[in-house]
């Protein structure tokens, strides 16, 4: 039933009056005393770590900053904007919380309460189909956000015993993954590769073909041009209405890159808690760790492994563990994180740490990519840790057989190519050589071609039979 115009106006005015006269705590204000590199130091302001503050100079736009540490009476802040023009003596005060725009005729909503300077960002169905930055500001020139509420980013972790185990297979539309690295709904996987091997393209394929109610994409620390390409070329018109894109490109300050990853995860949690199945795609987890490294080193934390301080390895599981199945089987977040292996080194500290906390890893090979083999998935190094729980035994045994034949050929590949192998010496290797062309064709797939689960399993069987 439509709301009467007079009543709608009364509700609108009541909400406006409530916002004009909230209960305000006593204001605390400090002074900027030092600026070194990326870190601002202020005295006289006492707010908790994680609080949002504004640094104000006369005649200039305020600079948003977050409290990342303190020593005695000195607070360390990391800026989220351009610090050009700041000088000693600038005022530092808690930033006002985000307040969604009022909408005439919309049902009144209760905003989540939070402490002074707490980070509140827009959350709700109004984000669907939109592209926003790490602070919830629209980037798509489609007007202000509506049907959203201001929600805190800090959320309590779910009790591990209240999560349902991963038991249901998820169709990703990628033949090699469906057949050999089957994904379960609520699983968390990493795409491991060096730069330029095809991580983003494979991520786009899964965004286009994976079955999900909502898609949340976090583009963290990557090239700025990829944002519009992802929205227009990969998501397209058909999927954009169920997707939310959070963009924090490489030129954003480290604070915003970290905040973007947390915001994308919080949006996925919001829709999961409503009972929906969410696909979370984050590109990349390594850039998130690098942003944390920049902040930690700037405030004086000692480096540990290859320049990464200990806090980096504590932040990674805190972020990743927020995805997965919801409380008592209500809703799920299936997450794919890209992990950049510097110099194609799979023992890179971030890659090694991510592999230990994720439920599987898909490794992309530069040698396969250079030979024109796409997607360049190295099935020998890749694994899905929940596959045995989500597929029938016949499918699992078929995949094991495929891996065994494929691996036998790869181990003798050099001998075969130089002509050192004599046919008939090893009947199993002879069979692997005969099946190799069909198996290689099975593992390749165009980025605009979808491969449903049943078709992928059937094609794997045909490749093993040499059909």
Which residues pair with residue 64 across a beta bridge?
54
Exposed e or buried b for every residue in 430-450, given b needs 16+ CB within 10 A? eebbebbebbeebbbbeeeee
Q: Where are the beta strands (DSSP E) in 107-198?
A: 120-123, 131-132, 149-152, 169-170, 183-184, 188-193
Tell me, what's the pLDDT at 97? 75
Q: At a CB cut-off of 8 Å and minimum separation 6, what does 213 contact? A: 242, 271, 276, 277, 278
Contact 386, 166 (CB under 8 A): yes
User: Position of tokens 């491969």?
Assistant: 451
pLDDT digits (tens, 9 = 90+) for 109-126: 455 555 566 788 999 999
User: Position of tokens 């977040």?
Assistant: 333
Q: CA 339, 344, 346 angle in degrees (round to 5)?
A: 65
Tell me, what's the pLDDT at 384? 95
Query: φ, ψ for residue 397 (rounded to 5)?
Result: -70, -35
Q: Distance between alpha carbon 182 and the CA centroid of its chain, in Å?
A: 20
Contact 410, 365 (CB under 8 A): no
Q: Distance between alpha carbon 234 and the CA centroid of its chain, in Å?
A: 16
Length of the chain: 467
H or E element in which residue 396 lies:
helix 393-411
H or E element in which residue 19 lies:
helix 5-20
Alpha-carbon span 112 to 456, nearest angstrom:
46
DSSP-based three-state secondary structure for 280 = strand
Tell me, what's the pLDDT at 255? 93
Contact 191, 338 (CB under 8 A): yes
DSSP 198: S
Q: At a CB cut-off of 8 Å and minimum separation 6, what does 155 contact? A: 266, 269, 322
Query: For every one of its 467 residues, what pLDDT tens digit does the chain have, with 9 covering 90 and above?
Result: 455 667 776 776 776 666 655 555 556 789 999 998 889 999 999 888 989 999 998 888 899 999 999 999 999 999 998 888 889 999 999 988 776 665 555 445 455 555 566 788 999 999 999 999 999 999 998 888 988 998 888 777 888 888 889 999 999 999 999 999 999 999 999 999 888 888 888 988 888 899 899 999 999 998 888 888 888 887 777 778 899 999 999 999 999 999 999 999 999 999 999 999 999 999 889 999 999 999 999 988 998 888 899 999 999 999 999 999 988 878 999 999 999 887 666 678 999 999 999 999 999 999 999 998 999 999 999 999 999 999 999 999 999 999 999 999 999 888 888 888 888 888 999 999 999 999 999 999 998 899 999 999 999 999 998 86
Alpha-carbon span 116 to 138, nearest angstrom:
25
DSSP 92: E
Residue 5 in tokens: 């115009």
Tell me, what's the pLDDT at 24? 52
Alpha-carbon span 344 to 364, nearest angstrom:
9
Residue 357 in tokens: 């906390």
**How distant, in Å, are the alpha carbons of 119, 202, 437, 457 from that of 467?**
58, 27, 11, 14
Ramachandran region of residue 405, left (φ > 0), alpha (ψ -120 to 50) or beta? Answer: alpha
Contact 437, 405 (CB under 8 A): no
Residue 421 in tokens: 């192998």
Tell me, what's the pLDDT at 89? 92
């Amino acid at each position: 039933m439509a709301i009467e115009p007079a009543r709608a106006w009364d509700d609108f005015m009541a909400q406006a009056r409530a916002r004009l006269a909230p209960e305000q705590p006593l204001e605390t204000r400090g002074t900027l005393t030092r600026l070194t590199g990326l870190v601002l130091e202020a005295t006289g302001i006492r707010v908790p770590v994680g609080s949002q503050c504004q640094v104000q100079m006369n005649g200039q736009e305020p600079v948003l900053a977050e409290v990342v540490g303190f020593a005695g009476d000195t607070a360390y802040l990391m800026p989220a904007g351009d610090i050009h023009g700041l000088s000693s003596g600038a005022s530092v005060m808690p930033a006002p919380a985000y307040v969604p725009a009022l909408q005439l005729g919309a049902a009144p909503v209760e905003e989540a309460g939070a402490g002074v300077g707490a980070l509140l960002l827009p959350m709700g169905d109004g984000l669907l189909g939109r592209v926003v930055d790490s602070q919830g500001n629209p980037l798509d020139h489609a007007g202000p956000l509506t049907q959203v509420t201001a929600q805190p980013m800090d959320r309590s972790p779910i009790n591990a015993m209240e999560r349902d185990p991963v038991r249901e297979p998820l169709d990703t539309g990628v033949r090699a993954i469906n057949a050999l690295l089957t994904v379960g709904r609520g699983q968390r996987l990493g795409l491991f590769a060096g730069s330029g091997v095809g991580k983003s393209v494979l991520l786009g394929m899964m965004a286009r073909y994976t079955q999900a109610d909502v898609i949340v994409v976090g583009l963290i620390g990557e090239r700025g041009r990829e944002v519009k390409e992802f929205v227009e070329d990969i998501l397209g018109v058909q999927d954009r209405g169920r997707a939310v894109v959070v963009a924090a490109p490489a030129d954003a300050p480290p604070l915003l890159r970290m905040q973007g990853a947390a915001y994308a995860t919080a949006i996925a949690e919001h829709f999961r808690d409503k009972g929906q199945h969410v696909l979370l795609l984050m590109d990349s987890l390594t850039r998130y760790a690098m942003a944390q490294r920049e902040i930690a080193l700037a405030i004086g934390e000692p480096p540990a492994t290859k320049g990464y301080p200990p806090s980096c390895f504590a932040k990674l599981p805190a972020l990743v563990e927020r995805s997965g199945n919801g409380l008592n089987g209500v809703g799920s977040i299936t997450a794919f994180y890209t992990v950049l292996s510097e110099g194609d080194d799979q023992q890179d500290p971030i890659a090694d740490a991510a592999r230990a906390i994720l439920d599987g890893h898909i490794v992309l090979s530069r040698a396969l990519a250079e030979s024109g083999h796409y997607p360049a998935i190295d099935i020998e190094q890749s694994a899905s840790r929940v596959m045995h729980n989500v597929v029938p035994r016949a499918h699992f045994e078929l995949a094991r057989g495929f891996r065994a034949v494929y691996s036998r050929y790869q181990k003798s590949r050099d001998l075969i190519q130089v002509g050192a192998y004599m046919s008939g010496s090893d009947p199993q290797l002879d069979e692997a050589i005969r099946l190799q062309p069909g198996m290689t064709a099975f593992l390749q797939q165009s980025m605009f071609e979808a491969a449903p689960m049943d078709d992928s399993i059937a094609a794997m069987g045909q490749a093993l039979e040499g059909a």
